[in-house]
Amino acid sequence: MSVDLTNLISYWPLNESSNGSAPVTRADAHNGNDLTDNDNKPSGTGLVYSLAADFPTAGALIHTDNAPLSMGNIDFTFAAWANLSDKTANRFILSKGNILGGGSEYRLYYDQPTNRFTMSVNGSLANGDGSLARADGLGSPSVDTWYFVVGWYDSTANLTRICVNDGTVTDGQAQSLGAVDGDGIFAVGYALGVDEFWLGQIGPVMVWKRLLTSGEITTLYNGGAGLTYAAMSGERRFLLVR
């Protein structure tokens, strides 16, 4: 059940044990993009792993701007397992940049007005124009339910796409600006500039600098069980053991 790791940037299991009394570094199992806990997040019950990062209150896991987590006008894909406990506001799975400060680059989130998981990519730091796709194939997500949310940007078509639980792919609107590269922070569970944090559990989270095939998405979904990093990178694990 291994998956091609070409251009995989980061895989955060988010399965570290934490009682919420002190910050716990969230390790990147693939590269060195470890996430800093800015608000003592505890552990919750996971799906892919026994534990996941729990977001019972406001807070985030963050990484400063760097080249690996900056995209620009290239192909890229985000994939995350997420369990939402509250739908009274927008809830962000991941984002980069300041939404209200003119520096937003991309975000994968629950959009409360439309009641849909949404992928948004900005084409300009100045005015925020870009491409946005809503997961109409799934429809309205339920609370306290695990979903595998995959959003991607196709730089050739200049549009964003999204699917949930290996379901129907929804295309966003095409746009001509491409995708912008800014210097904002990368965050899981939060978007800088708005007081709308994720409430629930997240983990694992994956970032790729390429488009995944439909077969790869199916493999990663794994019938609703997901894939651990060890299972996803079976060939690599064998080489390390040898």
Give SS3 for 197.
coil
Give the lowest-confidence range in 4-8, 17-21, 114-118, 144-148: 17-21
In a domain, 3, yes or no: no
Q: Is residue 1 part of a domain?
A: no
Is 241 a residue whose pLDDT tops 60? Answer: no
Measured from the Cβ of residue 26, the count of other Cβ atoms closer than 10 Å reads 24
Region 112-136 average pLDDT: 85
Percent of the chain residues past pLDDT 70, beyond the cut: 93
| Range 109-118 average pLDDT | 97
For 64-127, where are the E strands, in sequence order? 76-84, 91-96, 106-111, 116-122
83 domain-assigned: yes
Least reliable range by pLDDT among 29-38, 126-135, 232-241? 232-241
| 209 contacts 71 by C-beta, under 8 angstroms | yes
Task: Report whether pLDDT(127) > 80.
Answer: no
pLDDT for 90 beyond 90: yes
Q: Does a structural domain hold residue 175?
A: yes
Q: How far is 131 from 218, CA to CA, in rounded Å?
A: 24
**Torsion from C-alpha of 100, 107, 184, 27, nearest 10 degrees:** 140
In a domain, 199, yes or no: yes
What range defines the domain where residue 38 resides?
A: 8-241
pTM score, two decimals? 0.93
Computed over every residue of the chain, the mean pLDDT equals 90
Lowest mean pLDDT among 83-97, 107-121, 128-142, 215-229: 128-142
**Amino acid 239: pLDDT:** 34
Confidence category of residue 102, pLDDT binned at 50, 70, 90: low
Once rounded to an integer, what is the mean pLDDT over residues 110-124? 92
State the total domains in the chain.
1
CATH label of the domain that carries residue 145: 2.60.120.200
- Return the structure tokens found at 127: 């005015």
Does 165 reside within a domain? yes
Position 212 pLDDT exceeds 70 = yes
More confident residue, 3 or 136: 136
- Cβ–Cβ under 8 Å, residues 95 and 191: yes
Indicate whether 54 pLDDT > 70: yes
Strand partners, 95: 107, 187
Q: What is the pLDDT of residue 104?
A: 84
Above 90 in pLDDT, residue 238? no
Both tokens of 107, joined, read 């975000």
Exposure b/e, 136-145, CB count within 10 A at least 16 = b: eebeebeeee
Residue 188 falls inside a structural domain:
yes
Q: Classify residue 2: in a domain, yes or no.
A: no
